Amino acid sequence: MKLQKYHIDAFTNKLFGGNPACVIPLEEWLPNEIMLSITKENNLAETAFFVAHENDFQIRWFTPEVEMDLCGHATLATAHVIKKHLGYTGELIRFQSASGELQVSFEAGKYVLNFPFRMPKVAILPEIIKESLNIQPKEVYLARDYVLVYNSEAEIKALRPDKNKLEQIDLGHGGIVCTALGDEADFVSRFFTPGASIFEDPVTGSAHCSLVPFWSNRLKKKDLLAHQLSDRHGVLFCTNKKDRVLLRGNAVTYSVGEIILQQCERD
């Protein structure tokens, strides 16, 4: 069996920027263990698999460790593959996922992701996370992810979490997003995932399901510019729709290739 594989850099307009994801179109679902093995072999934070179904697409996301409930950059990467490589001519792509229906439209050369709204609530930081941080946050919130609010962009850049300590905690699908007001953007962030192969995620669309409503409420702004301050850097143009979040970004293709599955059986 041969499968097409697309390696896409998402939330960037420059190669080697943003967050890389692999995208693999399927005619029907493979066994979970095969999709997980492919993801491990790809050795990126996420691989998205999708199946065309009537007028929609079913999508699933895997890290090298687990299947995820939501992934922003790999959804953007998948929309890029469908639009740019597979000749999709529609104005709207609908994905059916574990997080419900997700929509991607096209606006002024950017992909627009219509994602769930996850306002974080005040929380208490687990002691193990507190001990792992070289700079303590001034506020702590929780949605799917812990949202740690800091005083400045400089503090976000200076964070050096202790990876070994954080591996002692299991946050399920969640992670730790650290955020502050930005110097050149409305807000900035960094995202850490205890126990994952990629400890610091380069650009995390799903975390902005919480960051956008949080900063929109605090800044009294509907439209926000966000920078994720990883080494690869990511830029997201965000809109708070009150019950949904819009994330706009670009994507570029790094490579197109084939996966050859030998001696692998389907269910």
Residues annotated as catalytic (active site), given as ranges? 46
H/E segment holding residue 82 = none
Q: What does the radius of gyration of the chain's CA atoms come to, in whole angstroms?
A: 18
Tokens 């005619």: give the residue.
27
Q: Is 253 exposed, middle or buried (0-12, 13-18, 19+ CB in 10 A)?
A: middle
What tokens appear for 246 in the block? Answer: 């819009």
Tokens 């692998």: give the residue.
264
What is the C-alpha separation between 59 and 159, in angstroms, rounded? 34
* Closest C-alpha among 4, 21, 3, 5 to residue 252: 21
> Are 84 and 6 in contact, with CB atoms under 8 Å apart?
no
Residue 54 backbone class (left: φ over 0; alpha: ψ -120 to 50; beta: rest): left
What tokens appear for 225 in the block? Answer: 């510019």
